[in-house]
Structure 1
Amino acid sequence: MTTHYIDIQVISDPETSAPHIMGALFEKFHLALVRDRIDSIGISFPEYSVTPKTLGTVLRLHGEATALQQLQQADWLKGVRDYVRIKAIAEAPEDAPHRAIQRKQFKTNVERLRRRRMRRTGESEQSVKELISEDVEQRPTLPYVKMHSRSTGQSFCLYIAMGSTQPDPVSGTFNTYGLSTCATVPWF
């Protein structure tokens, strides 16, 4: 159950935009969860908005107080500490609704999909063009954080979707991005 939280406010400056800092902060958070094998801390973005498309400037971490304290002691903010303000661990409001915060993946590049299929199946370019039409491509409208894969070196967009609010919490684990398709966090 996620009963406590920490707000981390991104502070932009004239040389570095808030979304860029949020991306760096989120990558540091992800790497800390992977390194320490943490699946008990979830996230939310209190300023999340689809119109305009933004995650906002606050990354909220949700979890038990001990898990949040252990994460803070791990010094995972190295390199971004000058660009953020961290509030103290606090209790989440008992009457807050809950929601799942999850990753959504989209087929955003038809050429990449075709190349991937050709590599995997050995099919010809012409047959893959017939199988994967131009209209398969999707244009996401969700807010995202720009990430860099350490394993492939590629950049990608991690799209964030909000589940519907519900009165009661759903317990479960979170992935290495602090997201879950079923486990909820308090939404306030």
Structure 2
Amino acid sequence: MDHYIDIRLLPDPEFPAAMLMGALFGKLHRSLVELQAADLGVSFPEHRHGPKRSLGQRLRLHGSAAALDRLMTAGWLKGMRDHVSVSDMAEVPIKARHRVVRRKQFKTNAERLRRRRAQRHNETLEQAREHIPDSVERKVDLPFATLRSYSTGQTFSLFIEHGEIQDEPVAGSFNSYGLSQEATVPWF
């Protein structure tokens, strides 16, 4: 993880930034799957959580120069070029710190959980309601990207958590979204 590329969303009067970031992130995911890349990570340097949560307008790709070059020559940005500005590949600053950027999943909809339980346990919705109270629902303040599953076609929210900043990097692999539960990316 000694190099990076920044991809910045350009202002667009027709599409909100969150929609463009979802499209960009979806294209990245598809390319990481096709390349079977486990050596590329992502971060969102302008992310915010809380009531005004957002991934921001910049997606940063992290990896070796060879891994980033392989991704960028794959043509994955086709169709997005009018909506983004792509920086040149650069070396990570020497004094960069590190953090884990991971997917976080939540039980956010009690009714959906009840339907799922009823189906799996051959119960009625009333029986499932007895087992799953409304209190299981959580209000989430993490930023997210709205993506479409390529396997099921369903739309879902991918919540993204930026972990604590660390002094030392942690090696590991990244999933097909460029996220990891343990590996860090440079943070600067």
Does the alignment reach a TM-score above 0.5? yes
Superposed structure 1 runs of 4+ greater than 2 Å apart? none
- Matched residue SS, 1:100: strand
* AA aligned opposite 2:187: W
Residues 2, 63 of structure 2: 8 Å contact kept: yes
In the TM superposition, what whole-angstrom CA distance separates every residue of 1:51-84 from its partner, at most 9, and x where no partner exists? 4311110000000000000001000011111100
Measured in 2, the distance between the counterparts of 1:110 and 1:49 equals 26
Give the SS at the match of 2:129.
Answer: helix
CA contact (8 A) 1:12 1:21 kept: no
The within-5 A match list for 1:150-161 is: 150-161=150-161
C-alpha separation between the residues in 2 aligned to 1:12 and 1:177? Answer: 24
TM-superposed deviation, 1:124: 2.1
Any idea what SS the aligned residue of 1:107 has? coil
Aligned position for 1:16: 15
Identity %: 51
* 2:130 aligned partner: 130
Instruction: For 1:86, give the aligned amino acid.
Output: V
CA distance in 1, matches of 2:152, 2:11: 29
Q: Residues 117-148 of structure 1: CA distance to partner in whole angstroms, max 9, x if unpaired?
A: 11111122221110001111111110111111
In structure 2, what is the Cα distance between the partners aligned to 1:126 and 1:16? Answer: 42
Q: What CA distance in whole angstroms lies between the structure 2 residues aligned with 1:34 and 1:166?
A: 28
Q: Structure 2 unaligned runs (5+)?
A: none
Structure 2 counterpart of 1:40? 39
1:107-126 aligned at under 5 Å gives the runs 107-126=107-126
| Bigger shift: residues 48-57 or 63-72 | 48-57
| Equivalent-residue separation in structure 1 for 2:145 and 2:94 (angstroms) | 29
Tell me the amino acid that sits aligned with residue 129 of structure 1.
R
CA distance in 1, matches of 2:22, 2:126: 38
Q: Is the 8 A contact 1:146 1:157 kept in 2?
A: yes
Equivalent residue, structure 1, for 2:49: 50
State the SS of the aligned residue for 2:151.
coil
User: Tell me, what secondary structure is at the counterpart of 2:82?
Assistant: helix
Number of equivalences: 187
Describe how 1:137-156 pairs up with structure 2 within 5 A: 137-156=137-156
Once superposed, what is the RMSD of the aligned Cα atoms? 0.9
Aligned AA for 1:23? G
Q: Which structure 1 residue ranges, 5 or more long, are not aligned?
A: none
Q: Does 1:171 align with 2:162?
A: no
Residue 104 of structure 2 aligns with which residue? 104
What amino acid is the match of 1:136?
V
TM normalised by structure 1 equals: 0.97
Structure 2 counterpart of 1:156, which letter?
F
Paired residues of 2:118 and 2:127 also in contact (CA < 8 A): no
What one-letter code is carried by the residue in structure 2 that aligns with 1:114? R
Q: Give, in whole Å, the separation in 2 of the partners of 1:120 and 1:10.
A: 42
